[in-house]
Structure 1
Amino acid sequence: MVKSFQGVRMVEPKKSPIDQILVRDHMSTNLVTFHPEDTIDQVLEILTRRKISGAPVVDESGALVGIISEVDCLHEIIKGKYTNTPKFPGRVGEYMTKDVITLSPDLSLFDAAGKFLELKIRRFPVLKDGQLIGQISLSDVVRAFPKLKQTTW
């Protein structure tokens, strides 16, 4: 009889290929960001020029404080209609969404897809250790899946 002196070993469960498709691999990292003091005019011009529908809002230190979208800008546009002002001087800080739901870069893309369905949000900032490192949009997720091989499902 042979005795082993290695002791009890924990065997790590093998990760399925689905678990290895992560947010970090499909998020955007070259982000357009805004500051709370920026005007809605500035936001509309940049969103239109860059052909995007929203972006994170950061403070002077780069910390995430909100997110601004085209829908948020509509509030200022409507206000301008009633006051007959062709400019939209409202500040991002007034209209941005402040309670931002974020995702981890290590989250499975399938779990992220579930969050998009559950919360009906078009974009999530991606934070690592409290720092903004990227953003994943619904379009990023949809574009990722046709590239996956059938064997990775």
Structure 2
Amino acid sequence: MVKSFQGVRVVEPKKTASPVLVKDHMSTNLIVFRPEDSIDHVLDMLTQRKISGAPVVNGDGQLVGIISEVDCLKEIIKGKYSNTPKFPGKVAEHMTEDVITLSPEMSIFDAAQKFLELKIRRFPVLKDGRLIGQISLSDIIRAFPKLKSTTW
């Protein structure tokens, strides 16, 4: 007769994967613009920082809009017709005011779905009504290769 000396087996509790959230992958060091900034300034900053858009905040730091390269094209076209090489138009005239925002607690899978549905390149991230970051389509794409099979 053979006896086993393995003893009682302890079953490890299954680890539940913590959700992968927007706040883990968003940018927090943001370039922001003010409604009174000129489109010339915006174009300079977008080009210099190699970004395609940024949030617009008022004097109190509250999100009031978002400005993108596409929005700036409106001023560029206007300059072409008036033969003006400078673009003095203001951000307030061209920014998108009806901004869709995301919560920092949203999963990046849900955020990815929002990007697909709305065909938007960036979302400001608000917490308690305050701008705390921005997540872009590129941020989402960069997050997925880092995921382990347990978090997928």
TM-score by shorter chain over 0.5: yes
Residues in 2 aligned to 1:130 and 1:147: alpha-carbon distance in whole angstroms: 30
Residues in 2 aligned to 1:32 and 1:45: alpha-carbon distance in whole angstroms: 12
RMSD over aligned Cα atoms: 1.4
Deviation (angstroms), 1:149 = 1.3
CA deviations over 1:58-89 (Å, ceiling 9, x no partner): 00000000000000000000000010000000
Mapping of residues 74-93 of structure 1, within 5 Å: 74-93=73-92
Q: Which residue of 2 aligns with 1:65?
A: 64
Q: Against the structure 1 CA distance between its residues 150 and 62, is the aligned structure 2 distance closer, same or farther, given a 3 Å change threshold? A: same
Q: Against the structure 1 CA distance between its residues 16 and 95, is the aligned structure 2 distance closer, same or farther, given a 3 Å change threshold? A: farther
> Which shows bigger deviation, 143-152 or 27-36?
143-152
Of all paired residues, the percent bearing the same amino acid is: 77
**Greater CA radius of gyration, 1 or 2?**
2
Unaligned runs of 5+ in 1: 1-13
Residues in 1 aligned to 2:15 and 2:105: alpha-carbon distance in whole angstroms: 13
Q: Is the 8 A contact 2:79 2:85 kept in 1?
A: yes
Runs of 4+ residues deviating >3 angstroms: none
Mapping of residues 97-112 of structure 1, within 5 Å: 97-112=96-111
Q: Which residue of 1 aligns with 2:128?
A: 129
SS of residue paired to 1:114 = helix
Deviation (angstroms), 1:15 = 9.7
CA deviations over 1:99-123 (Å, ceiling 9, x no partner): 0000000000000000000000000
Q: Is the 8 A contact 2:19 2:151 kept in 1?
A: no
Structure 1 length as normaliser, TM-score? 0.88
Deviation (angstroms), 1:150 = 2.1
Deviation (angstroms), 1:151 = 2.5
- Answer yes or no: is 1:37 the counterpart of 2:39: no
Q: Which residue of 2 aligns with 1:9?
A: none
SS of residue paired to 2:78 = helix
SS of residue paired to 1:125 = strand
Q: Against the structure 1 CA distance between its residues 110 and 85, is the aligned structure 2 distance closer, same or farther, given a 3 Å change threshold? A: same
Unaligned runs of 5+ in 2: 1-13
Q: Against the structure 1 CA distance between its residues 15 and 94, is the aligned structure 2 distance closer, same or farther, given a 3 Å change threshold? A: farther
Q: Against the structure 1 CA distance between its residues 21 and 42, is the aligned structure 2 distance closer, same or farther, given a 3 Å change threshold? A: same
Residues in 1 aligned to 2:103 and 2:74: alpha-carbon distance in whole angstroms: 30
